[in-house]
Amino acid sequence: MLTDTEIKKAIREATAERVLNDQAGGRGAGSLRLRIRPSDEGVTATWFAFWKTGGVRSTRTLGRYPGMTAAQARAAYHNEIVPQLLAGKNPAAPKAPCGRRATVGELFRAYVADLKTKGRASWPEVERALLHAKDNAADALGRNRLAGEIEAADVAGYLAKFYRRGSRSAADHQRAYVSAAFGWAVKAANDYTVDDRQDWGMKFNPAALVRRDYEAVQARDRNLSADELRVLWHAAAPGENGFTLETAAAIRLLIGTGQRVQEVLRLDGAELDLAAALWRMPREKTKLRLRPHVVPLPRQVLPVLADLAAAHGTGPLFPGRAGRERMDHRSVKQAIDRWLALPGVTAAQFQTRDLRRTWKSRTGEIGIGRDMRDLIQQHAGQDAGTVHYDRADYLPQMRAAMAKWEAWLDGVLA
């Protein structure tokens, strides 16, 4: 079996594509492998299952390392791949049912599986919205109806229920999820980059014909003052005011670094270099997935990160409950809401995403330039010149900016 030390060494020394073999599942059950591939944007490491059927080689991607640890990859391989191979089935990525048209439920499950395979951070929320929530789309549209029979009127009728009860934002989000799933199915039948194309019986995307409610999502401007940050920071101590170690650490990391909520909650211990005060975010965990991102860490967040690493090791530092691999933003929001409802707490209502806006606003007030703030928060670097040509290392400049923020936090938190 591969160890973390072996994997990290292979990634660090990679100069050409290389495949590591973790283990075999037994006769006829293939093997689990890790493909390490260097590129201009960095080195990626992808877990995949390998097997032969009738002498023909087949593979199925399971996830990216370190987002999927070796233990998690082995569990996925033994639970999802080996049983199907031993039963004589093909465990390749989800496909349309052979010989018949697919149902809405089958299509949605395959779409979520595709998101999960590609390492998309949104897959748990998409799965909940499409398949498991109280007002999930599958049940509303007809879980066992043929997907190709769904019309725009069906989607509009489903969304109208949210709109009538005043949940315009929820309606807009559900429209986006349903449209993405049906759009994925339409494109699958016409994907010229694969030989085995999937036909889900979809001729058009019915949700794309439903007008979007552009006024459903209003831009927020809530940001916390220095006094509010001080109160929140000291209240969000592990074990105090209902905050667990994980929810307290998430809040302090959001305040300290200004990163996106989902990026914080997807943090693995293997990405931290506490001695150098650095968070090395792999490319696949960034929003645009263009290149790895390095975040200098202010001194104030190091103690709680050390506690997290001691508790959870090199894997996910914010594990979820009820079988979920990772915590989602609702857990942090609920912890904040419980604190705001406590007797004597006078802080005004805010959301977890408001902390990212707060970082942007307060760092601007203390003289950190817009370009540097954008760079740290990954708002920069989307133009052609940066994407294709700029390979400069801005870490020294980012460290200087974060040192300025660290000094400001010292004064505010004292």
Q: If you average pLDDT over residues 64-69, what whole number do you get?
A: 81
Q: If you average pLDDT over residues 332-349, what whole number do you get?
A: 94
Domain architecture of the chain: domains with CATH: 4-86 (3.30.160.390), 104-209 (1.10.150.130), 226-413 (1.10.443.10)
Predicted confidence band of residue 63 (pLDDT cuts 50, 70, 90): confident
Predicted confidence band of residue 97 (pLDDT cuts 50, 70, 90): low
pLDDT of res. 327: 82
Asked if pLDDT for residue 100 goes beyond 70, the answer is: no
pLDDT of res. 171: 95
Provide, rounded to the nearest whole percent, the portion of the chain with pLDDT above 70: 92
Which residue(s) pair with 39 in the sheet? 42
Residue 366's alpha-carbon distances to 41, 204, 226, 337, 353, in angstroms, are 32, 52, 12, 29, 21
Q: If you average pLDDT over residues 84-101, what whole number do you get?
A: 70
pLDDT of res. 286: 85
Q: How many angstroms separate the CA atoms of 381 and 282, rounded?
A: 16
DSSP line for 130-169: IIISTT-HHHHH-TTSBGGG--HHHHHHHHHHHHHTT-HH
pLDDT of res. 190: 82
- pLDDT tens per residue across span 228-284: 999 999 999 999 999 999 999 999 999 999 999 999 999 999 999 999 999 999 888
> Closest Cα partner for 107 from 71, 66, 142, 151?
142
pLDDT of res. 25: 64
- pLDDT tens per residue across span 361-405: 999 999 999 999 999 998 866 666 676 677 788 999 999 999 999
Name which residue leads in pLDDT, 374 or 68. 374
- pLDDT tens per residue across span 70-86: 888 888 888 888 888 88
Asked if pLDDT for residue 48 goes beyond 90, the answer is: no
pTM of the model: 0.69
Q: How many angstroms separate the CA atoms of 99 and 105, rounded?
A: 17
Asked if pLDDT for residue 205 goes beyond 90, the answer is: yes
Asked if pLDDT for residue 151 goes beyond 80, the answer is: yes
Contacts for 356 with CB less than 8 Å, ≥ 6 apart: 254, 258, 259, 260, 261, 377
Average pLDDT over all residues of the chain: 88
Q: How many angstroms separate the CA atoms of 96 and 386, rounded?
A: 40
Say if residue 66 is preceded by a cis peptide, omega within 30 of 0.
yes
Structure tokens, 167: 């949940």
CB of 4 within 8 A of CB of 270?
yes
